[in-house]
Amino acid sequence: MFDTFTARPIKVARGPIFTLTAGEGPPILLLHGYPQTHLMWHAVVDQLTGDHTVVVVDLPGYGGSFRPETAADHGTYSKRAIGDDLVELMHVLGFSAFAVAGHDRGGRIAYRMAVDHPDVISAAGVFDVVPTGEVWSRANAQMALTYWHWAFLAQPAPLPEDLINANPSAFFDHHVRALGLGRAPGRYPEELMAQYRALLDDPSVVHGICEDYRAGAGVDREHDDDDKADGRQIRCPLLVLWSAQGALPKFYGDVLALWRPWAKDLRGRGLDAGHFLVEDQPEQVAQELLHLASMGHVP
């Protein structure tokens, strides 16, 4: 995996970010979600490097990247703070404008970057997410039972950390795999699943995951609410992909309708995949990313 990529930590103001780069051409930054690392893009990246410079990272708090300091308001793990880290990273690499796409939590960072940095983000992709505020404002019993981890992981430290650290394998087997990780036949090599499982053996990663969700329950919602109140939108092209088999169409019906207040240049579709659609359908995702990048522009 990633045989053609150069892997190295790149220092930004808050700490080093584990980064892999390959290819030539217009840059595209790929962001993983919960609870994964850059490895989730393994079946996509080689389809992009012929025409693009591809940058893949471990998000701060995950994998080989730095662990942000913990703050009382959890703002150090906010999508805004991490998005700013990633814009700085891309500037270090020499890119003043670029496309970004993210799955799950990475998708939330991607849309935050597009709102906060309209002069930098040329196109954005968000995969199997709806805006953070919509999740909370529309929460009901169905959501609470299906995505119970949203509230569990956001509980004050150290309760969720202690419970996960007591038996990380059980948490992985009974929760992470239940979300669909590893379900598509032939898409998840044993060594890949072993590395995903090993993530939860690191208490610093578990704490980072919890801080991410605490930020999502608080400061991230505040940032979204402020944007809506002030009429700030995503000005670049926005691609939304979601699992046609998954929770979003069941919970929300018209997924794109939830994104229309955020972006005028919007398109998207459901894929015949589970939540981990990048690994379930890498060829389709790669084609969508190539099309998105070709449409990119800085307003």
Consecutive H or E run containing 240: strand 238-243
Q: 266-280 b/e with 16+ CB inside 10 Å = b?
A: ebbebbebbbbbbbb
Collapsing DSSP to helix, strand or coil, 201 comes out as coil
Tell me the pLDDT tens digit for each residue of 31-74: 999 999 999 999 999 999 999 999 999 999 999 999 999 999 99
Furthest-apart CA pair in the chain: how many Å?
A: 49
Domain count, the chain: 1
pLDDT of amino acid 296: 80
Token output for 94: 């020499």
Say which CATH number the domain at 111 has: 3.40.50.1820
Percentage, residues of the chain above pLDDT 70: 99
Whether 1 is covered by a domain: the verdict is no
Residue 88: the pLDDT is 99
How far apart CA 24 and CA 252 sit, in angstroms, is 39
128 is known as an active-site residue: no
Instruction: Please say if 254 is a catalytic residue.
Output: no
Alpha-carbon span 116 to 180, nearest angstrom:
32
Q: Does 108 reside within a domain?
A: yes
Query: Is residue 32 domain-resident?
Result: yes
Residue 297's pLDDT is 73
Out of 38, 117, 207, 275, which one is annotated catalytic?
275
Of 104, 128, 220, 280, which residue is the catalytic one? 104
pTM reported for the whole predicted model: 0.98
- List pLDDT tens digits, range 246-297: 999 999 999 999 999 999 899 999 999 999 999 999 999 999 999 999 988 7
Residue 76 lies in domain: 6-295
Cβ contacts of residue 162 below 8 Å, gap of 6+?
none
> Could you report the per-residue pLDDT of 194-242, keeping only the tens digit for each?
999 999 999 999 999 999 999 999 999 999 999 999 999 999 999 999 9
pLDDT on residue 8: 98
* DSSP code, position 68: P
Return the bridge partners of 124, or none: 100, 238
Model pLDDT for residues 125-151, shown as the tens digit of each residue? 999 999 999 999 999 999 999 999 999
pLDDT at 116 over 90: yes
What single-letter amino acid sits at 80? R
pLDDT at 51 (0 to 100) = 94
pLDDT, one tens digit per residue, over 61-110 is: 999 999 999 999 999 999 999 999 999 999 999 999 999 999 999 999 99
Q: Looking at the domain assignment, is residue 288 inside a domain? A: yes
* Structure confidence at residue 299 (pLDDT): 59
Q: Above 90 in pLDDT, residue 298?
A: no
